Amino acid sequence: MQVELFVESLIADRNASSNTLEAYQRDINHFQKWVKKPFSEVIANDIKQYIQFLFGQEFKVSTVNRRISSLKQFYLYLFNENLITTNPCLHTKTAKTPRSLPKVLETSQMVNFLDFLKNAKDPANIRVRTILELLYASGLRVSELIKLPLNCIMGIGTNNPMILAKGKGNKERLVPLNDTCIESLRSYVKVREFFVSGVKSAHFLFASRSKEGCLTRQRVGQLIKNTAIEFGMDPTIISPHVFRHSFATHLLQGGSDLLTIQKVLGHSDIATTQIYTHVFPESVYQLVQQHHPIAKKNK
């Protein structure tokens, strides 16, 4: 019951997404099964031993930190609601996460991969091609892509076609689309009815016969890896998020500024976007040399 109340508070106070709510529930339920005692009887040492257990099971640091964060927020809620008298997570700290650089494809690799299905005729391949084009053209998260409504494309036929995406916290943003992506979308819309099944699926751009009415994140990842295998690419180096990272990195290489990339990606904090400055430091160095007024003067 306490977990359900906590989840309801997340919906009311933060307008949390379904993915976020599911993650909190999984993390708290996992802890409950491990600790085998009521939440009100948990002490700080239980939390400490649980964290040691997670590391002993060789969970990733990011996974452990997410579970720590879930427990900290859950117990803070219980304490604030006077459901417990002592917060066992009060002094619990997250572990330091080793900084890892995002995986990206080189521009030539990405272009060749996208061209693989350029002349697709089969509805299924046309849909996959459109997904690939849209991911690379917009930098959308896969969770944003699958939930796109049918009317998300704006300004088709004008010089500024854009897609209206809804990101974390239901924040909306407009992302410009290139001509190649628009062409692919037009081809897909002609065969979209092939994937529509029922009233629920009629709402989504990427309709599906799944119970959700749209493609799932897992299915999109599977489609991308299957296409990579057919193309002759190692499927372990490609994923929906690799498209997002490649999109941002290639924009930065092309001369875009971090604030623009932050806005397009939907990052709430510029610090999240700054990781892309470490992917190709040489290209960033060259940009500074080309655009800084003092560097220009010295040249």
Domains in the chain, start-ordered, CATH in brackets?
2-80 (1.10.150), 107-288 (1.10.443.10)
CB 146 within 8 A of CB 215: yes
Q: Is the pLDDT of residue 291 over 90?
A: no
Q: Is the pLDDT of residue 257 over 80?
A: yes
Q: Is the pLDDT of residue 73 over 90?
A: yes
State pTM to two decimals: 0.67
State mean pLDDT over 292-299. 59
> Which residue would you say has higher pLDDT here, 282 or 259?
259
State mean pLDDT over 235-255. 92
Annotated catalytic residue within 72, 127, 244, 245: 244
203 class by beta-carbon count within 10 Å (0-12 exposed, 13-18 middle, 19+ buried): middle
**Nearest Cα to Cα of residue 259 among 274, 242, 279:** 274
3-7, 27-31, 38-42, 280-284 — which is least confidently predicted?
A: 280-284
Q: Is the pLDDT of residue 1 over 90?
A: no
**Residue 141 among the catalytic residues:** yes
d(CA 172, CA 142): 15
- Span 160-202, pLDDT tens digits: 899 999 888 788 999 999 999 999 999 999 999 999 988 889 9
Instruction: Give the pairing type, strands 172-176 and 153-154.
Output: unpaired
Q: Is the pLDDT of residue 210 over 80?
A: yes
**Residue 299 among the catalytic residues:** no
Percentage of the chain beyond pLDDT 90 is 62
Annotated catalytic residue within 141, 192, 245, 250: 141
Which residues, in sequence order, are bridge partners of residue 153? 163
